Amino acid sequence: MRILHTSDWHLGRSLHRESLIKAQRAFLEALVDLVRTKNIEVVAVAGDVFDRAIPPLDAIDLFTWVLEELAGLGVPLIMISGNHDSPRRLGVNARLIERAGIHLRTDPSDCARPAVVEDEHGPVAFYGLPYFEPALVHVSLGAEAASHQAVLTAAMDRVRADLAARPGTRSVVLAHAFVTDAKTSDSERDISAGGVPSVPAAVFTGADYVALGHLHRCQTISDRIRYSGSPIAYSFSEAPYDKAMWLVDLGADGGVTAEKIPCPVTRPLHHITGNLKDLLKDPDHTRFEQCWLHVSLTDPDRPYMAMEQLRQRFPHILKLTFTAEEQPADDTTFRSRVEGRTDHEIAVDFLSYATHSHATDTEQQLLLQGLEEVRTAAAEREAS
């Protein structure tokens, strides 16, 4: 069976206030063409279909268009909700549209109800594990604790039990999660719960292929476990990395081969550095004139109307930072101090700074509890 694995569309997202809807449409048009020309039998979308719980109308229109196109081609679509989606809104009329071959899995109770698709070698069961907010689902799933590992383990236990009752059936699991040792970027939302956002790959033991979403870099965890990443770069940290989908062939014996299929690039992202005079005149920078740019100026003093001057040559500049060529070693920005750190670590450091003493274990635990309560309340609002 030939499967197209994609995820993290984030329809409706912008980049530094620049609309990306045209780039997203170009990607989805390429996806439909790929389905049409590459004999793809199933499309698997591993979450974060929309960028927020209540998406803008142009994002909804684009979503409706791609569903109609795939339904018209007669190709089944398996889709789960991610941490950016509203499960209830994305899952509206899920049972009804399943008749058109569109299988939405947004409810934790559906994790062991597969969409079964037949090919010439027999059935393949597609299990959808949407993003699980541990504090909201650990009781209903019978998990041992309110943690990502516990709830995903409980969900996979249900999947393995259902699969055991289907002898000879191959399996694909779609999940929206952060697997340990996978590489992150700046554009993913933190999903820390209990201080531990990641889960080991061993949680997914038993599946022939695991189509992951959440992290925006296309990457291979193992031969059977992959992230497709986002189809568009949603931060400048992603500029060096190719955007792609996985074309997965699932053999009659459950063996997996995968080919990386590049996504279209409507406008590339780049980060360039230099002083204003050189950036405006250097012919080597001609290749960046139609790119989305993050420009770092090294002038010792901030030039007058720097952004306006740069836009004369680089009309698509989105971000401007100033980095003096000679900086004191301790002159760090707030962004650099918090980059890569969790909300809990930042809060603990602030408490220590404000009280001029190290936060005690009790204080750290109270901060963690407070952050989890805020996260849970936000998740409940988005789910309603």
User: Cα separations (Å) of 250 from 52, 125, 171, 318?
Assistant: 33, 12, 9, 42
Q: For the whole model, what pTM was predicted?
A: 0.83
Alpha-carbon span 173 to 209, nearest angstrom: 6
Pairing of strands 225-227, 219-222: antiparallel
Alpha-carbon span 346 to 277, nearest angstrom: 38
Q: Which amino acid is at 353?
A: Y
Contact 38, 77 (CB under 8 A): no
The burial class, CB within 10 Å (0-12 / 13-18 / 19+), for 44 is: buried
Alpha-carbon span 92 to 63, nearest angstrom: 14
Q: What is the pLDDT along the chain (384 residues), one digit of tens a residue?
A: 999 999 999 999 999 999 999 999 999 999 999 999 999 999 999 999 999 999 999 999 999 999 999 999 999 999 999 999 998 899 887 888 888 899 999 999 999 999 999 999 999 999 999 999 999 999 999 999 999 999 999 999 999 999 999 999 999 999 999 998 888 887 777 766 545 578 999 999 999 999 999 999 999 999 999 999 999 999 999 988 999 999 999 999 999 999 999 999 999 999 999 999 999 999 999 999 999 999 999 999 889 999 999 999 999 999 999 986 444 444 455 555 666 567 777 777 777 656 645 667 677 777 777 766 776 666 556 555
Alpha-carbon span 110 to 126, nearest angstrom: 11
User: Cα separations (Å) of 25 from 22, 125, 138, 213?
Assistant: 5, 30, 37, 20
DSSP-assigned letters across all residues of 132-174: --HHHHHHHHT-SSSSHHHHHHHHHHHHHHHHHTSTT-EEEEE
Across the strands, what pairs with 123?
118
Tokens of 111: 């994790």
Kindly state the helix (H) or strand (E) to which residue 320 belongs, with its residue range.
strand 317-322
| Residue ranges with strand state E in 7-137 | 14-15, 18-19, 42-46, 77-80, 102-105, 115-119, 122-129
Pairing of strands 256-262, 244-250: antiparallel
Q: What is the pLDDT of residue 378?
A: 61
Counting every residue, how long is the chain?
384
Please report how many Cα atoms fall inside a 13 Å half-sphere around the Cα of residue 325, on the Cβ side. Answer: 8
The residue among 53, 46, 52 whose CA lies nearest residue 79 is 46
Contact 231, 213 (CB under 8 A): no
Helix (H, G, I), strand (E, B) or coil at 330: coil
Q: What is the pLDDT of residue 325?
A: 46
